[in-house]
Structure 1
């Protein structure tokens, strides 16, 4: 569990502990007996070591005379679950489901800040490149269906590049131009796509050269939606950051990556160099 989610769970546990004590249960043992629970369950919930269920919250509030607070605490619990959602659980309903969930977030966002060190950002991907990415997800998590739908939903989000007054600030590591997803032909098509979208008036595309002096380590990729939500994807889970202090860290990190990036002609030259690389690769494969 990420740091923010764990802190939130511990804060929820502390609040429940306060309710227990205010209700006259001086010990977890006494409260567990009244709830017909194991004593260890009370201790683990109060110390943030175990997730409480929504039913646990409601019964806890009823037993301590805090029924009016149950709705608020259940909302807090759901927020904690949203902070750290296991990919396997999300993908059980199909690989396209996480793509569908992003639509409301895109609709209400005015300023996007995207950092991707090793892969082209999803909203700038071609269909063939996106297909290769989802095939990689299937190799790790298994085939849950919906691959074609996932590609389609990802491509549909590209309309936001043209609609409204949204601003897209995208920074890629140069490695993203060379990480080979789908083979030379797919990569050439993807790189050509980057050359086209660079002309969009509301898109700022920067690339951090491999030899650029770095103000901060590359770390993992992330997507920032205004200054309210940051999404981070790992191999096993998806995290949503909403705590202002942590969002500030991501904002500062993004700005430091921007300092190392090049734009305009210098960025186009890097993309052309990558296109030449895949042209040579395809010629060598034919020979």
Structure 2
């Protein structure tokens, strides 16, 4: 969890505590407020000390509980200010993978140019439906989330319509390791590699492959996407980071451009993909 995120959560907690201690009817103890809201006392403690992230519903209940319904908008704005940057998988996947894909689709639709880097999987916008299905199942198992796999796959496939619209451009970089990773059966990976090879030459796709033996100027770390020059979405095990400040966007574009120096394109990229495809025959 980032320092900025934790500081913002603690600042919200201090504001909640301030409201509890200055209610119009006199200060409330944590126990009194918990009883009024029907919450365990530990939840009051965790929220006020920045140890738990509030939901909008929590903040509305708090505002009503302290007799200050008028401060809900203020509290919710504080929440959106940091929750929009770090979106935990626990909260995002509470309703399954499809709503997450729908959110991505909205942002992609707004974009003209996308720069993507993936070190362990084929980028979502270039995935086959079978490959995507196995990716979603793996993450559903890991996170213990709702298994709405077919709906999530359909949403991801709809996003790929973007690739067939004039004036769009996906600049994708993929580490060769992703071409060998068996997160799906070999037959599914074979179809995925065929699909990936078929995107080379599309006027809306620039696909670069970084061979495993290529010299790297920086480590191949977690995957990320830069949408135009306005938003970065980077994935970690606990959350997605949505970063929209100019400094972060510029930093991720520098990383992408540095990685690009190690990539091969066109016929050379085809050769790397075809070699991975042939290697599946022995698996």
Same fold (TM over 0.5): yes
Residues 137 and 147 of structure 2 are in contact (CA less than 8 Å); yes or no, is this contact kept in structure 1?
no
Q: Which residue of 2 aligns with 1:279?
A: 281
How far off is 1:179 after superposition? Answer: 0.6
Instruction: Give how far 1:234 is off.
Output: 2.3
> Within 5 A, what are the aligned runs for 1:59-74?
71-74=73-76
Q: Is the 2:93–2:145 Cα contact (8 Å) retained in structure 1?
A: no
Q: 1:138 to 1:48 in 2, by over 3 A?
A: closer
Asked whether 1:5 is paired with 2:19, we answer no
Between 1:242-251 and 1:262-271, the stretch displaced more is 242-251
After superposition, the CA RMSD in angstroms is 3.2
Residue 94 (structure 1) aligns with: 96
List per-residue Cα deviations over 1:26-82 (Å, max 9, x = no partner).
Answer: xx9x6589441449999987885665653488579987xxx6x86355223123223
Out of 157, 160, 163, the residue aligned to residue 162 of structure 2 is 160
CA distance in 1: counterparts of 2:111 and 2:8, whole angstroms: 25
8 Å contact kept, 1:114–1:224: yes
Shift of 1:278: 0.8
Deviation at 1:101, TM superposition (A): 1.7
- 2:142 paired residue among 140, 143, 152: 140
| Structure 2 partner of 1:107 | 109
Cα deviation for residue 172 of structure 1 reads 0.4
TM-score, structure 2 as length reference: 0.81
Q: Match for residue 34 of structure 2? A: none
Distance 1:186 1:44 in 2: 45
1:124: how far off?
0.3
Say which of 237, 240, 243 aligns to 2:239.
237
Q: Does 1:227 align with 2:232?
A: no
SS state at 1:92 partner: helix
Does 2:177 match 1:175? Answer: yes
Mapped to 1, the partners of 2:250 and 2:272 lie a distance apart of 30
| Distance in 1, Cα, partners of 2:233 & 2:242 | 5
Partner of 1:284: none
Indicate yes or no: 2:182 matched with 1:190. Answer: no
Change (3 A) 1:11 1:99: same
Are the counterparts in 2 of residues 61 and 70 from structure 1 also a CA contact under 8 Å?
no
Aligned to 1:149: 151
Secondary structure in 1 aligned to 2:162? Answer: helix
Output one character per residue of 1:115-171: Cα deviation in whole Å (capped at 9) or x when no partner: 101110011001111111112112212361311111111111110001141211110
Unaligned runs of 5+ in 2: 32-41
Structure 1 219/37 Cα, relative in aligned 2: closer, same or farther at 3 Å? farther
User: d(CA) in 2 for partners of 1:80 and 1:60?
Assistant: 24
Instruction: Find the counterpart in structure 1 of residue 87 from structure 2.
Output: 85
Who is 1:285 aligned against? none
Single out whichever of 239-248 and 159-168 deviates more from structure 2: 239-248
Find the counterpart in structure 2 of residue 36 from structure 1: 28
Q: Which moved more, 1:46-55 or 1:243-252?
A: 46-55
Residue 59 of structure 2 aligns with which residue?
54
Indicate the SS of the match to 1:260.
coil
SS at match of 2:222: coil
Give yes or no for the alignment of 1:117 onto 2:115.
no
Whole-Å Cα distance in 2 between the matches of residues 239 and 35 of structure 1? 37
1:102 is paired with a residue of what secondary structure? helix
Choose the corresponding residue for 2:207, options 198, 205, 216: 205
